[in-house]
Structure 1
Amino acid sequence: MDTGTHFVMGIALGGLATLDPAVGGSFLTSEAVLVGTIIGSQAPDLDTVLKFKNNAAYLKNHRGITHSIPAVLLWSLLITGAIHFIMPSSSLIHVWIWTLLAVVLHVVVDIFNGYGTQALRPFSEKWIALGTINTFDSFIFIAHIVGIGIWLSGAHGGYTFLIIYCIIALYYVVRLLMQRSIKKKILNRWKNVENVIFNPTMKFRKWQLVIVTKEHYYVAYSNFTEIQIVDQFERKELPNHPAMEAAKKDRNISAFLHFSPVFHWQIKEQLDYTEIRLIDLRYFSKGHYPFVAVTQLDKDLNIVRSYTGWIFSKKRMKKKLKPLID
């Protein structure tokens, strides 16, 4: 989820924690728990600082090891230890339990996005992305804001957020059933489907899809009742091409391949250089695909320039990639 939603979730868990007698019965412990749940709800996204290094480092590591099983335990212990050092009279075990829950919830809700996480590390480096909830879901965010408002108005935080989370849990069930229904329609229409990748939009009924068959990738939209194909690509493995083999050593291409499960590749051979472009098919927006990786190699297959990242308009894409084709 986005940073704002994780933040309000941290506050909500602090309110929910007041149902715990050891928390609700102690002002100091309840304050410590609230600090723990707020920090814990943000901690796994510490890897966002990698954006300052470069896009490749961020792409290859974001929601990776910081969302892993060892990291979940480490975050909760570090945060609890720091809080207990500052507030030694608070209940250590209860601060740790609720802080751990905040970190776990962060990772769990991220799994339901199209981006996903590597939550099973170190046992598996597979990206887990259920594609059920958009990275920012207005219903979930507003529900938390309403709950916080009710709590601040004097209502019991624990019971308030118990009700809020029951409603949100029901919302997740509805979204999962919608997703299941769309997939059933796809399987009835195409007989050779190997996978369906969901990328939910901010609109409740609108879903973006990539339908993977043995021979093609179909980029589509669904309004829940209908499925509209907007683009299709022949499914081809990366070629055994000298330029492609050289490009795989580039950090931007490597990061893209590490992250993207469905993409279309292009090789453009010019007089003075060869350009390789990889296009992630999960993110179709306003007539183009904003997430790309591009590298340019000279005649000796040395990497001259490369880039990976998000470009959300055709105009900006031309401007951003212009240096690659000088």
Structure 2
Amino acid sequence: MDSLTQIALGASVSVAVMGRRTAAWKAALWGGICGTLPDLDAFIDHGDPVRNMTLHRGDSHALFWLTLATPLLAAAIARLHGEQAQWRRWGLAVWLALVTHPLLDLMTVYGTQLLRPFSEHPYGVGSIFIIDPLYTVPLLAGLVVAMRSRRPGALRWNLAGLAFSTAYLGWSVVAQQHVAGIARASLHAQGVQAARLLVTPTAFNTVLWRVVAVTPDGYLEGFRSLLDREPQMQFERFARGDELYRDRLAPASWHARRLAWFTHGFYKVERHGDELRMTDLRMGQEPYYTFTFVLAERRDGQDLPVTPRLVSQRPALREGFTWLWLRAQGLQVPPPR
């Protein structure tokens, strides 16, 4: 999730754990700091954009390492404020602020390597967009009221915001499974055999969902609003570039194999002039994606691997938001191309 959300979650959790055992501002401050610490790995340059992408949310998001770091952080905070008697309580607050960060990231589609160093598998539920105001605003509102008011029951507002946001996460999973069921039924009715199915929300909401189905001859993309009245989904078909990946990229490019693993097979390969580009299909929509990499260039009749380059692909914001607003209402408006 975005940094503001992670800060708000860490602060809210810490305030909930510490209660009146320390000043609310102290709990919020250190909770917010611990809540954003795992994302400092974004400032590490691993040498190329593919490594940077696939190693983000790695060791710094591992539950094992975060748990090991907790006692040292908690002891330092307790000593700094002269609250050694509250060391155990600070330990619980710090641990929850740290581990709720990767657990929240888990709910996005990106891929979080929670189980390092025992497993590098990038887990992702994909039921919430990386920025969702309906998750973040209740956290911030409850936290602000709890910190500004000195009434005995003020901390309940923080708990209420935390409970609402947590319930919203649960709702996102329910909505995702509902759309997945409609997508599978629609594909079956249309005689499509999908090897993989991806269901993720579009930007900033859990009303309009994007569905990607990988098939033996390409992939399909469709959109489903919870306000749609039609019983079936409609899909567009696109080429995936399986032969380009298998014959041109995979044998010689570690970066291509790494992306295929990290995306769980939701990728496409295209030739763009003399370049071979590989795209993560999970984040974005046709033809605009967050992560597209140039992995090879054609020289003397051969496709030779190159140091990866990230290619930016973004739609016009006004056009994109207009489509998003209309389509979320159940109107069958074609997506921007």
Is TM more than 0.5 here? yes
**CA 1:76–1:311: 2 relative to 1, 3 Å:** farther
Q: Please report how far the alpha carbon of residue 94 of structure 1 lies from its aligned counterpart in structure 2 after TM superposition.
A: 1.1
Q: CA deviation at 1:142?
A: 1.1
* Structure 1 portions without partners, runs of 5+: 315-326
How far does the alpha carbon of each residue in 1:77-132 deviate from its partner, in whole angstroms, 9 at most, with x for none?
34224323423433211111110001111111111112131112233222111111
Structure 2 letter corresponding to 1:138? P
Q: Tell me the secondary structure at the aligned position of residue 67 of structure 2.
A: helix
C-alpha offsets along residues 134-178 of structure 1, whole Å, 9 cap, x if unaligned? 111101111122112321133445322222222223222222111
- Give the Cα–Cα distance (whole angstroms) in 2 for the partners of residues 18 and 97 of structure 1: 9
Which of 57, 69, 72 aligns to 2:66? It is 72
- How many angstroms does 1:25 deviate by? 3.5
Tell me which of 111, 115, 122 is aligned to 1:127: 122
The offset of 1:36, in angstroms, is 3.2
Instruction: Determine the structure 2 residue equivalent to 1:108.
Output: 103
* Per-residue deviation, residues 30-77 of structure 1 (Å, max 9, x unmatched): 665444322211111111102596523321211112111222213423
| One-letter code aligned to 2:119 | S
Q: Which deviates the most, 129-138 or 30-39?
A: 30-39
Number of aligned residue pairs: give it: 301
Deviation at 1:214, TM superposition (A): 4.3
- Listed as ranges, the matches of 1:198-217 within 5 Å are 198-201=199-202, 202-217=204-219
CA 215–163 in structure 1, closer or farther in 2 if over 3 Å, else same: same
State how far apart, in whole Å, the 1-side matches of 2:315 and 2:247 are: 30
Is 1:153 the counterpart of 2:149 in the alignment? yes
Separation in structure 2 between the aligned mates of residue 266 and residue 308 of structure 1, nearest angstrom: 14
TM-score, length basis structure 2: 0.78
Output the CA distance in 2 between the equivalents of 1:55 and 1:282. 17
Cα distance between partner residues in 1 of 2:21 and 2:263? 48
The correspondence for 2:39, drawn from 41, 45, 54, is 45
CA distance, structure 2, for counterparts of residue 265 and residue 105 of structure 1: 35
Q: 2:242 aligns with which of 236, 253, 257?
A: 236
List gaps (5 residues or longer) in structure 2: 317-337
Q: What does the per-residue CA deviation read over 1:297-322, in whole Å, with 9 as the maximum and x for residues that have no partner? A: 533765455413543259xxxxxxxx
Question: What letter corresponds to residue 109 of structure 2 in structure 1?
Answer: G
Quick one: which amino acid aligns to residue 13 of structure 2?
L
- Alignment partner, residue 92 of structure 1: 87
Moved over 4 A (4+): 51-54, 237-240, 300-305
Q: Is the alpha carbon distance of 1:186 and 1:3 closer, same or farther for their aligned partners in structure 2, counting shifts above 3 Å?
A: same
CA drift of 1:243 comes to 5.9
1:307 maps to 309
User: Matches of 1:187 and 1:304 in 2, distance apart?
Assistant: 39
**Counterpart amino acid of 1:40?**
C
RMSD of aligned alpha carbons: 2.9
Q: Which moved more, 1:80-89 or 1:41-50?
A: 80-89
User: Is 2:196–2:213's contact at 8 Å kept on the other side of the alignment?
Assistant: yes
Residues 127 and 200 in structure 2, CA contact (< 8 A), matched pair in contact too: yes
- The CA distance in 1 between the partners of 2:69 and 2:158, in whole Å, is 24
* TM-score, scaled relative to structure 1: 0.80
Counterpart check, 1:185 vs 2:179? no
Find the counterpart in structure 2 of residue 165 from structure 1: 162
Q: Aligned equivalents of 2:155 and 2:313: distance in 1? A: 43
Q: 8 Å contact 2:74–2:94 — kept in the other structure?
A: yes
* Seq. identity, %: 21
1:293–1:307 Cα contact (<8 Å) kept: yes
